[in-house]
């Protein structure tokens, strides 16, 4: 692998007595789409949240795009602009319009004028197919539309990496497709993506690599076909067996 754009080594995370991450190494190459799967409580989300330091790792190192995320001298707010994050519950700001949601960080963090932030914000909404919803508040949008606005909010900042934390888990089944569609087009544009999700179909045809986590460790990883068809470990086999019954 060339110099990885995300390089996490030896990550440990304790929540009190709970040992949630037990020495996780994750290296992701530029333009790679890595899918992280595993049973709930396996530490997938915590791993993702350690990468942009929403969660402070107990030990280990995280370097993203050459920036040491855990160095106290790192301007974390500046660094986070390079790492987009999409959440299960969308977390749109309910008191702002879709465009307001997308442009807030452009204005406050990237220092754009209102006019240029609006132009960039509209372009980002266009990319997720919601240019006509710019003036709507989150309450006026469907779950799928809200999640696409949330994606626009991240990509407007032109991040180097996008983290997706179960982006479709809170959606009604008929709305999942529109979000996956946006993720697929992001992938085609060359975005580096780390996705925690149970959308195995999407993993199969879009992921470069699937990482299986259990009990705070990476059990195995490899191309989707290998992990899904010929898992090396019993735990992986039983997990994949369980989710494929649905």
Partner 1 sequence: MRGNLDRFVDTFFNAKVMLKYLPDILSGVVVTIELALFIVVTGIAAGLALALLRSLGIRPLNWLIIGIVDLFRSLPPLVVIVLIYFGLPSVDLSPSGFVSTWLSLALVLMAFSEEIFWAGITSVAKGQWEAARSTGLSFGQTLMNVVLPQAFRLTIPPLTNRTIAITKGTALGTVVAVTEILGQASSAMSNSYNPSPLMMGAAAYVVLFFPVVVAARWVETKFAWKR
Query: Per-residue contact track with partner 1, 181 to 220, x per CB under 8 A?
Result: ----------------------------------------
Beta-bridged to residue 61, according to DSSP, are: 9
Of the residues 109, 225, 232, 243, which one makes contact with partner 1 according to CB under 8 A = 109
- C-alpha span between 115 and 118 (Å, rounded): 5
- Least distance from C-beta 152 to partner 1, angstroms? 11
| CA–CA separation, 30 and 49 (whole Å) | 19
Q: Which helix (H) or strand (E) holds 21?
A: strand 18-28
Burial class (CB in 10 A: 0-12, 13-18, 19+), 36: buried
Q: Cα 116 vs. chain centroid, distance in angstroms?
A: 26
Task: Give the ranges where the chain is alpha helix by DSSP (H).
Answer: 44-51, 76-80, 98-108, 114-127, 143-155, 173-188, 200-206, 224-229, 234-244
CA 132/CA 134 separation, integer angstroms: 6
Point out which span in 1-9, 60-68, 148-156, 216-224 binds partner 1 (CB under 8 A): 148-156
Task: Identify which of residues 83 and 195 has a Cβ nearer to partner 1 in the complex.
Answer: 83
Q: How far is the CB of 100 from partner 1 (least distance, A)?
A: 10
8 A C-beta contact, residue 49 and residue 95: no
- 3-state SS class at 189: coil
Q: What is the 3-state secondary structure (H, E, C) of 135-172?
A: CCCHHHCCHHHHHHHHHHHHHCCCCCEEEEECCCCCCC
For partner 1, the binding residue among 16, 72, 115, 139 (CB under 8 A) is 139
Residue 42 or 154 with smaller CB distance to partner 1? 154
CB closer to partner 1 out of 77 and 242 = 77
Query: C-beta of 81: minimal distance to partner 1 in Å?
Result: 4
Within residues 43-102, the interface with partner 1 by CB under 8 A covers 52, 54, 77-81, 83-85, 87, 89, 91-95
Minimum distance, C-beta of residue 89 to partner 1, in the bound complex (Å): 5
Interface pick for partner 1 out of 150, 191, 227, 240 (rule CB under 8 A)? 150
Kindly tell me which of 186 and 210 has the beta carbon lying closer to partner 1.
186
Site residues (CB under 8 A) for partner 1?
Answer: 52, 54, 77-81, 83-85, 87, 89, 91-95, 104-105, 108-110, 137, 139-140, 150, 153-154, 157
């Amino acid at each position: 692998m060339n110099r990885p754009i995300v390089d996490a080594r030896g990550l440990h995370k304790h929540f009190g007595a709970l040992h949630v991450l037990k020495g996780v190494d994750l290296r992701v190459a530029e333009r790679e789409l890595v899918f992280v799967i595993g049973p709930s409580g396996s530490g997938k989300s915590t791993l993702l949240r350690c990468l942009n330091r929403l969660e402070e790792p107990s030990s280990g190192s995280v370097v993203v795009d050459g920036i040491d995320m855990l160095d106290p001298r790192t301007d974390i707010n500046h660094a986070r602009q390079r790492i987009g994050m999409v959440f299960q519950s969308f977390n749109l700001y309910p008191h702002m319009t879709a465009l307001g949601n997308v442009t807030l960080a452009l204005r406050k963090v990237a220092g754009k004028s209102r006019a240029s932030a609006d132009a960039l914000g509209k372009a980002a909404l266009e990319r997720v197919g919601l240019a006509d919803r710019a003036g709507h508040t989150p309450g006026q949008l469907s779950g799928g539309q809200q999640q696409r606005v949330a994606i626009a909010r991240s990509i407007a900042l032109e991040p180097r990496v996008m983290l997706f934390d179960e982006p479709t888990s809170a959606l009604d089944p008929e709305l999942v497709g529109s979000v996956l569609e946006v993720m697929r087009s992001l992938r085609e544009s060359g975005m580096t993506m780390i996705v925690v999700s149970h959308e195995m179909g999407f993993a199969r045809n879009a992921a470069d690599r699937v990482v299986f986590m259990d009990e705070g460790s990476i059990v195995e990883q490899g191309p989707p076909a290998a992990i899904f068809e010929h898992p090396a470990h019993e735990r992986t086999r039983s997990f994949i067996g369980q989710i494929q019954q649905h």
